Amino acid sequence: MTSCYVVHEAPVRRVAIFGGTHGNELSGIFLVKHWQENGAEIQRTGLEVRPFITNPRAVKKCTRYIDCDLNRVFDPDNLGRHMIEDIPYEVRRAQEINHIFGPKDSDDAYDLIFDLHNTTSNMGGTLILENSRNNFTIQMFHYIKNALAPECCPVFLIEHPNLKYATARSIAKHPVGVEVGPQPQGVLRADILDKMRKIIKHGLDFVHIFNEGKEFPPCTIEIYKIMEKVDYPRNKNGEITAVIHPSLQDQDWQPLNNGDPIFLTIDGETINYEGDSTVYPTFVNEAAYYEKKQAFVKTVKVKLTAKGIRSSLS
C-alpha cells in the first residue's frame, strides 16, 4: 500500500550501542560489557547490533573523562583535527570512533546508535532527540513510550542553535540518547539498569518490526524542547553561593512557574524563578554540570509530529 503520508525510509541494518561515553555512568558500561560476553538479548534477525565501550580509559578510572568530555567533541573541527602529539585523549578517541562507525554525515555511517547515559538528576528514563525532523527516531520514541506506559518516558529535544552539542551518537543517521536517573556517579543500581535495558529492548524491537515491513502511521508525541541553561548564583570569585532549592530538587519535568523557588542561599534566602511562562526544568542538580555552569535546563512542552514511515525494501 502506498500513501502520500508515508515516507519510505531505508531499512536499518547497522546498529551500535555505546556505553561508557562517560566513564562513571555505570548502567551503560555494565550492560555493554555483559552484551559483549552474551549478546543474545540484543540480537534481532536482519540487523547487526554492536555493543561498544566508547571511552575505555575513563571507564577504567571510573571517571567522566580523561582530558575533555567525549560527548562534546564530535564536531567537524575536532573530527578533522590532525593527529599531533598533545591532542586530548578524547579527541583522538572521537576520531577513532568516527572511523569505525562513521564517517559522520556520510552514507557509510552506521544507521542507528543508542548512547547510554546516567544522570544524578531525577529524570527517570529520558530519551534524547537531536533532530525534530527525524521521522524514524520520533516514531521509535512513540513506540517505546507506548511500550513502557503507564511508566513515563520523557523525550528531550536538544535541537538549538547554540545549546546543541556534538555527541558521540551524532555520527549515526539516527542518533538516540538514553539518559536514566537518578543514579550517583560510580554506582550501579539494579532498578536503573533494568529501566535502561527495557528501553533498549523496545528500541530494538521497533527496528526489527520496521525492517520487516510494518507501516507506522503518522504520530504525535509530546516532547520537551531545550530553551536555556540556568547557572548557579555565584560570587565574584566564581564560587557557588546558592544551591538548588528543596522545592525544585528532584522535580525534573514538573512545571516551574514565575515566583516558584529555585535556589536557596547559605543564609536561608530563597531565590525565585522569574519568567513569563511555565517552563519544565530538567537536569536539575546534575553532578557533572557544576563545572559546565548549569544548575538546570529550561524546556518547553511541544507536540512533535512524525510522518508515517515504512521500510523502503518492503
Partner 1 sequence: MAASCRLKPLSSVAVSGGTHGNEMSGIYLAKHWLRDPMELRRGSFAVTPFLGNPRAIEKCERYVGQDLNRTFTTELLSSTEAEDEPYEVGRAREINQTYGPKGSAQAFDFMFDLHNTTANMGACLIVDSEESLLPMHMCHYIQTHYKWSPCRIYLYKLPGEETYSIDSVAKAGLALELGPQPQRVVRADLFAQMRALMACALDFIELFNKGTVFPAFEIEAYKITGRMDYPRYPNGEISAMVHPKLQDKDFLPLHPGDPVFQTFSGEEIVYKGDTTIYPAFINEAAYYEKKVAFAKMEKHTFSIPGLQRE
Which residue is catalytic, options 9, 90, 130, 179? 179
At closest approach, how far in Å is the CB of 193 from partner 1? 7
Binding string, residues 274-293; x marks residues near partner 1 by CB under 8 A: -----------x-xx-xx--
- Of the two residues 94 and 248, which places its CB atom closer to partner 1 in the complex? 248
Give me the torsion for CA of 194, 288, 116, 254, rounded to 10°: 60
b or e along 73-109 (b: 16 or more beta carbons within 10 Å of the residue's beta carbon)?
A: bbeeebbeeeeeeeebebbbbbbebbeebbebeeeeb
Residue 168, marked binder: yes
Listed ranges 14-22, 46-54, 125-133, 176-184: which one lies at the site for partner 1 (CB under 8 A): 176-184
User: Any catalytic annotation for residue 286?
Assistant: no
Interface with partner 1 (CB under 8 A), residue from 245, 298, 307, 310? 245
Packing angle, helices 190-211 and 135-148, rounded to 10: 130
**Residue 56 binds to partner 1 (criterion: CB under 8 A):** no
Length of the chain: 314
Binding string, residues 179-218; x marks residues near partner 1 by CB under 8 A: ---xxxxxxxxxx-xx------------------------
Q: What's the gap between Cα 89 and its chain centre?
A: 22
Size of the site for partner 1 (CB under 8 A): 33
DSSP 247: T
DSSP character string of 204-237: HHHHHHHHTT--B--EEEEEEEEEEEEPPPB-TT
> 305 in helix, strand or coil?
strand
- Of the two residues 131 and 249, which places its CB atom closer to partner 1 in the complex? 249
Could you give the CA distance from residue 13 to residue 258 in angstroms, rounded to a whole number?
Answer: 47
- Of the two residues 193 and 309, which places its CB atom closer to partner 1 in the complex? 193
Please give the positions annotated as active site: 179
Which residues bind to partner 1, rule: CB under 8 A?
30-31, 33-34, 38, 62, 120, 182-191, 193-194, 239-240, 243-246, 249, 264, 266, 285, 287-288, 290-291
